[in-house]
Amino acid sequence: MSKFRKALFALPALALFAFAAPVVAKDAPKKMGIGREALPEEVKAWDIDVRPDGLGLPAGKGSVKEGETLYLERCASCHGEFGEGAGRYPVLAGGKGSLKGESPEKTIGSFWPYASTAFDYINRAMPFGNAQSLTPDETYAITAYLLHLNDLVKEDFVLTKENFTSVKLPNVDTFYDDDREKTEKAFWKKEPCMKNCAAEPAKVTGRARVLDVTPDGKSGPKVD
Amino acid sequence: MSDNTPSTSRRRFLSGAGLAAAGLVAGKASAQTAPKPDPAIVNIPDWSKNLGEGVQARPYGSPSKFEKSTIRRDVEWLTVSRESSVNFTPLHALDSFITPSGLAFERHHGGAPDVDPGQYRLMINGLVDKPLVFTLEDLKRMPGRTNRAYFLECAANSGMEWKGAQLNGCQFTHGMIHNVWYTGVPLKALLDEAGVKTNGKWLLAEGADASGMSRSIPIEKAMKDCLVAWGMNGEMLRPEQGYPVRLVVPGWEGNMWVKWLRRLEVGDQPWHHREETSKYTDLLADGRSRRFTWIMDAKSVVTNPSPQAPLKVKGANVLSGVAWSGRGTIKRVDVSLDGGRNWATARIDGPALPLSMTRFYFDFDWDGRELLVQSRAMDDTGYVQPTKNELRKVRGLNSIYHNNGIQTWLVRANGETENVEIS
C-alpha cells in the first residue's frame, strides 16, 4: 500500500480517535487492536530459547565434575553412563568419523553443529518426562559434561554464560543450505519417457518380506 | 480365489436380467447349472426387522464396528517410547483427497497434551514493535479467517526405505502424511499486529508440549502463506494434532507445523535448535549435511493395490493413489504396470489444489499377470518424481529424510502384493 493511500486511510481514524494518532500515523499495516501487550515478566517466563551466538543464555555456570554427578543421576538411565545410549534412546557421545560409513552415529561431538543446541534442548525438554526442571547452573553443568564426554573440553572445565561461545563443535563447517534446485536440477524433466523406457524388463532386486519387520500379519493379508 | 466376489455375481445378475428382458428365459434352467439364491437376499436380516439405534446413541459419531481395521498403526521397533514416536495413516483404506481427522497420523516428541483452551495463550515477542499475547477467543474474532486444504508430510516419510524395501504396506512406507482442511488466520495478520522490525528475518515457532518443540522459519515464508489454525475438517483440532492451535506451513516438512503453538519469536538469525540440526538435516554420501531442506518434493504412491489391499479379482479393476508436491500443484500422474518400462497417464479426480494431496485413478483390466505397479507425480514447476535409484545416486543412503522416490509394488498372480525394489 502506498504512503498516499495509507494517509487517506488514516484520516477518518484521526478524526474519530484523535488520541490514537501516533499508532495509525505509522507507515505499517492497519492494526486490528486484537490481543494485548505482553508484560516483561510474561516474556521472561516463556522466552527460554538459546542461539549459537549466545543470545538467550541465562546467567550461570557449571563444571564438568558437577555435570557428571547430575548426568549419572538424571540422564544416564536413558543415554548411558558415557552417552552411548541405552536401548534405542539417543546416543550423545562418540561416533567420530562415522558419518560417511554405513551406520552414521550422529552425536553432539560427531555431528551437531553448535553447543548451544544441546543447552537449549536440555533446558526446554530434558529430562524426558520432567522438562524445564533443571536450574541454569545444572543445565550448564550437564552441557559441560556432555562436551567432556565428546573430548571437547577437559575434565576441569567450567562452562559459563561468558565462555559459552568459545566452544566450537568440529562438524559445524559441513552443513550447507538447501541446494536441491541446483544439484538436483535433472529432476525437473518436464517430459518424462512414456514408452520402452528401458532395454531390459524390470527385475526384482529386493523384497520387504525378506526382512519380515512389518507389524500385523507379517507377510501381508491372505487373499482368498 | 472366491467365486462370490461382487463383480462376478454382478455379472451373473446382469446377464440373467438381460436374458429375461429379451424373453429368452423360459424359466426352466437345469438343476445342475441353476445358481443358488444368495442368502444375503432371500433371508431377511436382523437390521431389516428390528429397529436400529436411536439418535443420540452416539452423540459424537464413530465408524461402523465392521471398520475396526481402518486405524492408525505404529511400528514398535521404530522408536523407544510411544510418547516420542509416530503412527501411520491407513492410506490403503482411504479414498478422496481429505484424511478423516481420527486417522491423520501422529508424531509427538513429548506426548500429546490436552491443552485447556481457557488457559491457552499465544505470545509474539522478539524483534517486534509491541510484544503481544492472544487468547483463543482473540484469534477467532480476527478478520481474514480462511479455510485451506494442505498436505502435511513428515520429512522422514519413507525414511526407512533408503537402504531397500523394508515394510509391507503403504500405511508404513508412506503413511506419515495427512491432508485436511484447516481453519485459521494468516500468520501475517498476527505478525503485522505486533509489527515486525526491519531486522526481523526469522521466526521461532514454539510448542507448549513437554518437548517445547521449536523450529526456525524464514520471515518470507511466515508472511507468505502460513496459517495459525484452530480448526481441521470443520471442527476444532484434535488434541494429537495440536489442540487448540497449531501452525500450518504449507508445502514444508511436517516438523515445522508446530502443534500446541504457544510462542512466536521474531529474530535476525535462525536458532539452530535440535530439530533443525541433529534432526531434519540430510546427511549425504560425502559426509556433509544439507540443512534447511524445508520443501517437500513431488511424490506419489499407489494405495490400491498395495500389500494391505491386494488385488482380488481378475477383470475390471481400479488402481488408485495419491500425489502431492510442496512446490505447487499436481499437474499429472503417470502409472506403470511393468516397473517403469511403459507408462500411462492416470485420471486425476476431485480438486487438484496447490500444496494439497490429489487423488488419482487408473481403470484397468487385470488378466492375472504379475505386475510391477508404480506411480510418478509431476507438478506445475516441471518437477518429475525420481526413481529411488536416481535419488540414491545423488544423495547416498544415509539421509533418512526427504525420500520421495517412486514406490514399486509387486502384484503376484494370486493378487498378493509386496513392497519390492527393482532394477
**B307 contacts A220? CB cut-off 8 A:** yes
Q: Is the pLDDT of residue A2 over 90?
A: no
**What CATH number belongs to A56-174?**
1.10.760.10
Partner residue opposite A114 with nearest CB, options B277, B340, B344: B277
How far apart CA B115 and CA B31 sit, in angstroms, is 68
Shortest distance between the Cα of A156 and any Cα of chain B, in A, equals: 27
Looking at the complex, report in whole angstroms how far the Cα of residue A53 sits from the nearest Cα belonging to chain B: 9
B20 vs chain A: nearest CA distance in angstroms? 32
Q: Choose, out of A47, A79, A112, A173, the residue to mutate when testing the contact with B (most B CBs < 10 Å).
A: A47
pLDDT tens figures, B394-407: 999 999 999 999 99
Alpha helices in A39-152 (DSSP H): 40-46, 64-74, 76-79, 115-125, 136-149
* Residue A91: DSSP 8-state: P
Residues of A (35-74) whose Cβ lies below 8 Å from B? 35-38, 42-43, 46-53, 55
Beta strands B261-267 and B122-126 are parallel
CA A181/CA A188 separation, integer angstroms: 9
Report pLDDT digits (tens) over B30-66. 556 899 999 999 999 999 999 999 999 999 999 999 9
Is-contact A131 A140, C-beta < 8 A?
Answer: no
Residues of B in contact with A104 (CB under 8 A): 283, 398
Residue A3 to chain B, least CA–CA distance (Å) = 17
In this prediction the pTM is 0.89
- Chain B residues whose CB is inside 8 A of the A42 CB are 123, 133
Rounded Cα distance between A154 and A62, Å, is: 13
Interface list for B 363-392 with A (CB within 8 A): 372, 376, 378, 381-386, 390
Give the chain B residue nearest A221 (alpha carbons): B308
DSSP letters, B382-415, are: --BPPBHHHHHHHH-S---S---PBPEEEEPTTS
Q: Where are the domains of chain A?
A: 3-35, 56-174
Is B299-420 a domain of CATH 2.60.40.420?
no
Contacts of B280 in chain A (CB under 8 A): none
Determine which of A102, A117, A210 to mutate to test the interface with B (most B C-beta atoms within 10 Å).
A117
- Sketch the domain layout of chain B as residue ranges: 76-290, 299-420
Query: B76-290 has which CATH code?
Result: 3.90.420.10
Alpha-carbon span B88 to B70, nearest angstrom: 11
Q: How far apart are the first and last CA of chain B?
A: 30
Taking an 8 Å cut-off on Cβ atoms, the answer to whether B290 and A121 are in contact is: no
- Reading chain B (423 residues) residue by residue, the pLDDT tens digits are 333 343 434 333 333 333 333 333 444 445 568 999 999 999 999 999 999 999 999 999 999 999 999 999 999 888 888 999 999 999 999 999 999 999 999 999 999 999 999 999 999 999 999 999 999 999 999 999 999 999 999 999 999 999 999 999 999 999 999 999 999 999 999 999 999 999 999 999 999 999 999 999 999 999 999 999 999 999 999 999 999 999 999 999 999 999 999 999 999 999 999 999 999 999 999 999 999 999 999 999 999 999 999 999 999 999 999 999 999 999 999 999 999 999 999 999 999 999 999 999 999 999 999 999 999 999 999 999 999 999 999 999 999 999 999 999 999 999 999 999 999
Q: Which of residues 82-111 of A touch B (CB under 8 A)?
A: 87-89, 99-100, 102, 104, 106, 108, 111
Distance from CA of A150 to the nearest CA of B (A): 15
Closest A-chain CA to B208:
A46
- Sheet of A175-177, strands arranged across: A175-177, B289-291, B282-283
Nearest-CA distance A69 → chain B (Å): 24
